[in-house]
Structure 1
């Protein structure tokens, strides 16, 4: 990446004008290349109301800067890191910057999404262009004021200087800058000149978070708003037959009860009354002979793996010949359960459907797509839908799906009242959408101490290709390589869960590679490095990972984790994985206490390109690792006759503080464009932990959660 090249782009991407009566400069910018070509930004700032741009910069006459962050904030830190990129190129002190959440523009712009760890990756170039363009406009204004050539002027820390030593602050020239043409050519900084990028910055919302200021959807209040608690079918496949609302109506605060589809909403003046009213409903649900149970799912997945009619995803070489000529064949089947998302903040959303517009407010990862779905549901023009995003108390993929937004909009449309749907924890865990149960069967052939063949089969609930990436490692590293998938269609709603595609596959494959290493008497780290030598980056365009970057990441993790150099009381496990455009390797250290594995430390190496905010980046990696270890060790969720068996934390176990390891993170240093961090730390964690447990006990773990399989476990490990 050439960071200091001149960048050329169309003036249509910008709007700049004097900012209302207070003066100053406002620059709006189309952040993403995916935005529509026909975008025509408004020119009347009085009508902007901060709703008609993906993002923009406001520079006040005192030189202070407000940067509007476009993407949903779910704790991944984009509300801090994206403005840092703009501020870097704008060359303004970070303590002179304030950050506000931008609103959705459903007409002109796209990719206002939090998902797939793609926000920084997609926004990197455009964010830098935005800051650099704003700076050049200010420099041009100062040069015009001095009567000198702009090329003789420099800007740094909010101050513009000319060759004569004269100085002007940004605030001194913002009004003049607003009258100038937008420059089409700007020069971006070299990484060696960065002052903000690469330096740790605290979360811009931290003061509001720790003092309880309203930030989240749960905090949102509007005049006349009613709280809706919704009664949904308790089992997947059931339908609403009838309900008696007599007792629910008698509860103080309950105002109205509404049926919509197979659901019943109790509307009240407060959350407690709404939830109490829902419990008081006497609901009659249908019964059925085909309601699914986890035992059935297990059988269906086995049948898929044994089938001859799977979908072929990739085939290199001759896998049958490799197995026929093998000295040794290894085969394992790995299994994972359904998992709920369990966001700290349960689902909620506000809707006010009126004749003039549809006003939506709340935490959603896919605001544009959700707004369109609402418009379709209630038969409104998409331009009438205005959606405002709040901060989210966790997303992990659950808030990609706007089912709870649709509920709020439909209830408001029926009642003609402003409504906020609020889930209880039981609602959150019982209503879907789950990570699907999956099984993988992996088979490898070994000839003369080398891996000659690799056959991977996936069987998933609802979605083939959900958990399988055929062009990730070891694609290209093994000459004879085959990937197949199949799926069982279930009534149980499933979808993306943190690090989709890889959150369980990484455990299966990385555990299997350790078994291969044992079979050929080779160090597990060295096995991976040797296989990566077979991959020539760029030769096979379908391969998505970089062998060089993965090699460097593995070596860094092994070095920083003191791989193979621990004392006799510490056992280590290793895993390396590429996902969401980022390479990650992890070393897990455990000890044993009366046979019980104690996870002491996880050393992580990450190649995510340029690290924008090291403080936030480390938080993302640590959170992903702990999340991955916790769910691999304890996460379990099952169904009986279509009904979820765990609806709260009394029976569903999450990782606790006493089980949380130290996580030490190291970044591969380079000047490559940044990639995602919200998800890639999670996939290798389960595999590294399983391999550490195998090193300590000799036990091979094939199922998650591990706690159900670990031999000689103590009673304090059970839920």
Structure 2
């Protein structure tokens, strides 16, 4: 089942890289009439389910009762006799602004006010709603939403517009070329006659689909590319928006979780006597590695959980420490890996080079620590199952329910909600599977929730990475050879095994295997080393975050070795191979005042990145006091993300990414002792506070290239800009994150 979402407002958006018209037409364009009247324009010839118009429904609310005879194909534009446009949304909103940006694409080509486009969640169905940029899965992630939507959504709107114009021309018995669409109406230019879309939908549904669709050129855009306020902001501001934790089902109970504190451990025994004495506690549910206390409300559930007397089997992981993980990685780094990129003859170049530099970089486990902790509400019955959750993977959620309950997929309903922070954590369904196991033992709907402490200590973490990197330099200090070995967990081997080719996890080697710099001899390989008992998962641009830190830090080291300004050093290596990267470097450094003098203890650092289809350069200005305390005073970013949909969203995404990135670079670290995660809450897993947040400037480079992603680049490019600035301020090279620990040790 889908969920009602939005009815009005304005937007922010990202940039994109499009799906081709060939891909769009492969899925097909279907046009038909709703049984109750209306024009249906689908992205797939496969038909679908029934649904209602959702005008006026608050974000995350359950949909109203369906009117009889409303036909809803998959991923489509629907226009009713009142002229309301409904978009079935294949992507999930988690703060990135797609519930405004994608409607902007439809509204632009359809020639309707943005406020007249209503949204409805797409039901789980990868065949109908899959993203070809993500292997066909029904996912929201990888900064692909606008890249995925750019072409097909515009073509859907343009096709609907053409059909409506043709229907009006037929009614007036005039040439369609003499008519134009305008603000939800069709106008006959010479006579001034005008008719609304709602009056045309029945006739338009009978018109043949045009074989050629003419899209607007960028200079014709009236909405796309213009700064637009987000549609969902008012409801988020006044509390009307519905997130997963806001789900409420009549008669539901609440379940608090207590996990085995040792990662990979199991439940030995539990004495529930005291827990059941707590007023409002209904039952205790035992799982393989956890215990759930079910109560009438959250306080009863939490109080009951605190009263449990639990014994655990820690198993082999009960003595595990962070040092053990690092030792495993260091040992694995001595092995040859799967070749991710080979160019020229690196061995020969290293053998003849007079100068070389070697380094080892380390990056820690990181938690997602989303503002909305993990939660899921389920109602498991013999005849069906309902799930209320905020998830990046509604299709996977349905599959998890099918596996847990044995029910056929058509008996499973996923009610997707807004997400209070995803960052890759909600690409996983472990929490949903756990809730279902509990729900099978509870005879009412039950909301399963994790406390912040459970969330931090039982996350699926960004992997610990260990990089060995070397460069051979000519007499002028320019790199003539580059060797880079990446050692770490392979998330794709678990999440999408088919994406791992010849032993190379393409995410783990992202950025590292596609340098923007002109270096004639390169060898990049990957050694898979899974951390004992520690579950790993995607974390806001996993490969690009770890790869950019290592590559851009090491490029800075080479510039210092060559005694060349780091910006000039990059210019020389970028100018021929990557002019777009060179351009954002110029824009960012000029805006940041690169080269202007700074007080003692302050410095500027730079990074350049090409990932997610976008080019980005970042300059950080930092100050370091005599105790090694780092303060980020200013961040300047230039981004070329191709064609832009909403500049406001680009700015917001970069700003949010920078805050997320500073938090990780300065403070982010998950450590293990005796098999247990030592951090537990924001007290010891810090997030940058408002008063610590520096001014952030975002400069968007105008471009006519295909749109690129923007949700993750701001985070990915931040750390090396900060650490390079620290070197400029102190002469201390940071090769191990987080920064604070490193400077104290130095």
* TM-score (norm. length: structure 1): 0.90
CA distance in 2 between partners of 1:695 and 1:633 (Å): 17
Distance 1:9 1:149, change over 3 A: farther
User: Where do residues 294-313 of structure 1 align in structure 2 (5 Å cutoff)?
Assistant: 294-305=322-333, 307-313=334-340
Partner of 2:736: helix, strand, or coil? Answer: coil
Q: Report deviation, 1:613.
A: 1.0
Among 289, 301, 305, the alignment partner of 1:274 is 301
1:631-654 CA-partner distances (Å, limit 9, x unpaired): 101112101111000111222222
CA distance in 2 between partners of 1:60 and 1:52 (Å): 12
Partner of 1:414: helix, strand, or coil? Answer: coil
Aligned partner of 1:114 in structure 2 is 140
User: Where do residues 69-468 of structure 1 align in structure 2 (5 Å cutoff)?
Assistant: 69-105=89-125, 108-111=128-131, 112-162=138-188, 163-291=190-318, 292-305=320-333, 307-449=334-476, 450-461=478-489, 465=505, 467-468=508-509
Partner of 1:504: helix, strand, or coil? Answer: helix
Q: Tell me which moved more, 233-242 or 282-291.
A: 282-291
Whether 1:556 and 2:587 are equivalent positions in the alignment is: yes
Q: Report deviation, 1:195.
A: 0.9
Q: Report deviation, 1:562.
A: 2.4
CA distance in 2 between partners of 1:245 and 1:44 (Å): 45
Aligned partner of 1:40 in structure 2 is 47
Distance 1:708 1:187, change over 3 A: same
Q: Report deviation, 1:122.
A: 1.4
Q: Report deviation, 1:7.
A: 11
Distance 1:83 1:519, change over 3 A: same
Aligned partner of 2:611 in structure 1 is 579
Aligned partner of 1:29 in structure 2 is 43
Q: Tell me which moved more, 364-373 or 334-343.
A: 364-373
1:314-347 CA-partner distances (Å, limit 9, x unpaired): 2322222222222221111111111110000001
- Give yes or no for contact 2:47–2:72 (8 Å, CA) kept in 1: no
Aligned partner of 1:34 in structure 2 is none
Q: Report deviation, 1:475.
A: 6.7
Distance 1:345 1:48, change over 3 A: farther
Aligned partner of 2:494 in structure 1 is none
Q: Tell me which moved more, 500-509 or 697-706.
A: 500-509
Aligned partner of 1:682 in structure 2 is 715
The one of the two structures with greater contact order (alpha-carbon pairs below 8 A, sep at least 6) is 2
CA distance in 1 between partners of 2:643 and 2:322 (Å): 44
1:421-447 CA-partner distances (Å, limit 9, x unpaired): 111101111112001111111111112
What is the alpha-carbon root mean square deviation over aligned residues? 2.7
User: Where do residues 632-651 of structure 1 align in structure 2 (5 Å cutoff)?
Assistant: 632-651=665-684
Q: Report deviation, 1:706.
A: 0.5
Q: Tell me which moved more, 228-237 or 475-484.
A: 475-484
Aligned partner of 1:33 in structure 2 is none
Q: Which runs of 5+ in 1 are unaligned?
A: 31-37, 536-546, 714-719
Aligned partner of 1:538 in structure 2 is none
Aligned partner of 1:620 in structure 2 is 653
Distance 1:52 1:138, change over 3 A: closer
CA distance in 2 between partners of 1:10 and 1:301 (Å): 45
Distance 1:101 1:44, change over 3 A: closer
Aligned partner of 2:685 in structure 1 is 652
Q: Report deviation, 1:290.
A: 4.4
Q: Report deviation, 1:223.
A: 1.4
Q: Report deviation, 1:58.
A: 3.6
1:461-501 CA-partner distances (Å, limit 9, x unpaired): 46574532376443772122111222333211111111111
- Give yes or no for contact 1:242–1:284 (8 Å, CA) kept in 2: yes
Q: Which runs of 5+ in 2 are unaligned?
A: 1-16, 53-65, 132-137, 492-503
- Give yes or no for contact 1:590–1:601 (8 Å, CA) kept in 2: yes
CA distance in 2 between partners of 1:519 and 1:175 (Å): 72
Partner of 1:503: helix, strand, or coil? Answer: helix
Distance 1:553 1:496, change over 3 A: same
